[in-house]
């Protein structure tokens, strides 16, 4: 039984190290939001694709071939360990988008709704 517990602890430690190696947070990049190491893809992007758009990890890799399947799984594992942080990032991002849309309305949308001048 002790051997199983030691092996389990070793596997969990190894898994945590894989996530740490694949997920980075740098205050100078993306405002310190969690990103996949070596890529300009945030963990919250992967979460949105997976949770909101219903994409499987394989579909995410097909859409972003610069990512490996283990990158996607590491991002999802990070999310499930840090749900509140990532959901807050998504909420903040949505609020910022709403503010920008209100401040800078779409000229194309206006033309489509009211016809060209």
pLDDT for 57-108, tens place per residue?
999 999 999 999 999 999 999 999 999 999 999 999 999 989 998 888 888 8
pLDDT value, residue 12: 47
pLDDT at residue number 61: 98
Of 101, 109, 93, which is closest to residue 47 (Cα–Cα)? 93
Check if the beta carbon of residue 35 is closer than 8 Å to that of residue 42: yes
DSSP 82: S
Lookup: tokens for 36: 């996949």
Q: What's this model's pTM, rounded to 2 decimal places?
A: 0.73
The CATH class, in words, for 2-84 is mainly alpha
């Amino acid at each position: 039984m002790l051997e199983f517990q030691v092996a389990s602890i070793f596997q969990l430690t190894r898994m945590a190290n894989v996530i740490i190696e694949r997920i980075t947070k740098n205050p100078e990049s993306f405002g310190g939001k969690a990103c996949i190491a070596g890529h300009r893809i945030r963990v919250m992007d992967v979460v949105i694709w997976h949770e909101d758009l219903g994409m499987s990890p394989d579909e995410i890799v097909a859409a972003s071939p610069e990512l490996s399947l283990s990158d996607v799984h590491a991002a999802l594992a990070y999310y499930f360990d840090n749900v509140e942080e990532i959901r807050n990032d998504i909420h903040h991002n949505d609020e910022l988008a709403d503010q920008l849309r209100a401040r800078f309305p779409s000229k194309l949308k206006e033309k489509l709704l009211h016809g060209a001048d």
